[in-house]
C-alpha cells in the first residue's frame, strides 16, 4: 500500500479512537456509578475547602487513593470508584511526596491541622510542605474541614471520636498537673504499665532516641521536653511536660512501657498521633529511653520483673563474657 495523506490521516484517527475507547469509553461504560459504603456528599465548608485545596496545589504532593500495594504500609481499606462520586474534578493525584490523604479524616484533631497548616515543621520537623499561614484562620478552617472529610463516613466516625476524647483530655488538663498525669496513665492497660524494658539507656540507644525525638517529637514537646514546642500555642490540651513527671514518679515506676504504648498508639483526643507505621519496636524503645533518661531523669531498665534480654544491645563490657543477673531483683554482679 502506497502511503498518502488520506491514509496517514485515516490511520491516525484509528489510533486516536482506539486509544480513546480504551482509556475513556471502556472505563466510563464499566465503572459503577453507585456510591460506596462510606460515601456522602460534602458540606458547604468542605466544598469551599476543596476549592482551596485545588487552588493551592495540594494535589501535586498528596494522593487520595489507596492501592493494593499500599497495604504493607498499614492501610486498612482500598479506594473504590464509589468513594469519588460527584467529585469534579477528581483529585486522585499520583505524587506521594506527602502522605496519602484518602483516609486522613479524624487521624488528628482540628487544632493539629491548624498548627500544621500554619507551620508544617511545627508538627512534622522534616516536612517539605510550605507554610499556609497567609491564608488566615478562616480559610485554614475550611481546608481543615475538607481534610477531615476525607474518608467519608469512616472519617466522620473518627472525627466524632476525636472530639469525644478531646473534651475529656481538656478537662483532665484543666484539673491540674497531677490530675492530668493520673488521667493519662489511667488510659494505658496495666500490662503495659509493668512492661519490662529490655534496652539499656547506653550511649548508642540515647543517640538513636535523640535523633528520633528531633525528627518526630521536638515540634510539640520542645527541645528540653517541657511541652513548649513551636506547635504548642495552637494545641489544646498542650503537649505533655515530661519534666513534670519526675517529682510525681513513685519508686519502681515503669516508664518505658507507658511511653511505648502511647508512642505506638497515640492519645486520641489530644494532638499526640500514633507512630506505629513509622517506628518499629526498637526505635520506640530508644525514644522512650531518651525521654525517660533525659527529661524525667529516670530509667526502668532492669527494674523487676525482668524479661528476656534483647537479642542485640551494645556490650557494656565488651572484653568480659556475658554474666546473667545475680538475682531476680535485677542487680548485676
Measured in residues, the chain has a length of: 333
CA distances from 159 to 40, 154, 218, 250 (A): 15, 9, 25, 36
Q: What is the pLDDT of residue 333?
A: 38
Q: Let me know: does 255 contact 190? Beta carbons within 8 Å.
A: no
Integer Cα distance of 259 and 262 in angstroms? 5
SS3 for the chain is: CCCCHHHHHHHHHHHHHHHHHHHHHHHHHHCCCCCCCCCCCCCHHHHHHHHHHHHCCHHHCCCCCCCHHHHHHCCCCCCCHHHHCCCCCCCCCCCCCCCCCCCCCCCCCHHHHHHHHHCHHHHCCCCCCCCCHHHHHHHHHHHHHHHHHCCHHHHHHHHHHHHHHHHHHHHHHHCCHHHHHHHHHHCCCHHHHCCCECCCCCHHHHHHHHHHHHHHCHHHHCCCCCCCCCCHHHCCCCCCCHHHHHHHCCCCCCCHHHHHHHHHHCECCCCECCCCCCCCHHHHHHHHHHHHHHHHCCCCECCCCCCCCCCCCCCCCCCCCCCCCCCCCCCCC
CATH superfamily of 176-296: Cytochrome c-like domain (1.10.760.10)
The residue among 126, 112, 301, 287 whose CA lies nearest residue 210 is: 287
The residue among 227, 202, 229 whose CA lies nearest residue 290 is: 202
Owner of C-alpha cell 563490657? 317
Owner of C-alpha cell 525482668? 306
44-161 and 176-296 share one fold = yes
As given in the structure block, the three cell numbers for residue 114 are: 491548624
Q: Where are the domains of the chain?
A: 44-161, 176-296
Q: Let me know: does 138 contact 145? Beta carbons within 8 Å.
A: no
Q: What is the pLDDT of residue 251?
A: 55
Which regions in the chain score pLDDT beneath 70?
1, 250-254, 315-320, 322, 325-333
Owner of C-alpha cell 469534579? 88
Q: The domain at 44-161 falls in which architecture? A: Orthogonal Bundle (1.10)
Q: What is the pLDDT of residue 319?
A: 62
Torsion of CA 144, 149, 155, 160, to 10 degrees: 60
Integer Cα distance of 200 and 206 in angstroms? 9
Q: What is the pLDDT of residue 135?
A: 96
Q: What is the pLDDT of residue 331?
A: 45
Amino acid at each position: 500500500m502506497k502511503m498518502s495523506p488520506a491514509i496517514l490521516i485515516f490511520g491516525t484517527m484509528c489510533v486516536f479512537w482506539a486509544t480513546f475507547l480504551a482509556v475513556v469509553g471502556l472505563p466510563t461504560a464499566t465503572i459503577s456509578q453507585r456510591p460506596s459504603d462510606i460515601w456522602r456528599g460534602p458540606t458547604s465548608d468542605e466544598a469551599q475547602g476543596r476549592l482551596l485545596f485545588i487552588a493551592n496545589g495540594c494535589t501535586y504532593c498528596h494522593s487520595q487513593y489507596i492501592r493494593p500495594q499500599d497495604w504493607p504500609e498499614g492501610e486498612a481499606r482500598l479506594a473504590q470508584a464509589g468513594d469519588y462520586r460527584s467529585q469534579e474534578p477528581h483529585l486522585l493525584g499520583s505524587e506521594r511526596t506527602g502522605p496519602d490523604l484518602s483516609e486522613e479524616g479524624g487521624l488528628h484533631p482540628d487544632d493539629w491541622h491548624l498548627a500544621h497548616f500554619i507551620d508544617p515543621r511545627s508538627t512534622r520537623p522534616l516536612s517539605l510542605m510550605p507554610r499556609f499561614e497567609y491564608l488566615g484562620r478562616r480559610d485554614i478552617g475550611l481546608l481543615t474541614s475538607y481534610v477531615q472529610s476525607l474518608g467519608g463516613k469512616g472519617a466522620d466516625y473518627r472525627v466524632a471520636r476525636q472530639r469525644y476524647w478531646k473534651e475529656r483530655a481538656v478537662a483532665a488538663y484543666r484539673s491540674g498537673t497531677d490530675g492530668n498525669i493520673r488521667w493519662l496513665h489511667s488510659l494505658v492497660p496495666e500490662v503495659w504499665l509493668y512492661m519490662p524494658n529490655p534496652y539499656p539507656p547506653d550511649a548508642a540507644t540515647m543517640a538513636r532516641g535523640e535523633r528520633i525525638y528531633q525528627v518526630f517529637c521536638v515540634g510539640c514537646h520542645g527541645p528540653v521536653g517541657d511541652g513548649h514546642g513551636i506547635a504548642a500555642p495552637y494545641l489544646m490540651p498542650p503537649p505533655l511536660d515530661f519534666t513534670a513527671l519526675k517529682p510525681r514518679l513513685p519508686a519502681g515506676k515503669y516508664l518505658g512501657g507507658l511511653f511505648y504504648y502511647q508512642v505506638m498508639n497515640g492519645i486520641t483526643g489530644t494532638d499526640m498521633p500514633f507512630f506505629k507505621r513509622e517506628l518499629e519496636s526498637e526505635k520506640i524503645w530508644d525514644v522512650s529511653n531518651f525521654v525517660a533518661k533525659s527529661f524525667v531523669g529516670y530509667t526502668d531498665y532492669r527494674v523487676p520483673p525482668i524479661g528476656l534480654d534483647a537479642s542485640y544491645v551494645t556490650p557494656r563490657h565488651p572484653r568480659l563474657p556475658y554474666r546473667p543477673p545475680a538475682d531476680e531483683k535485677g542487680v548485676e554482679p
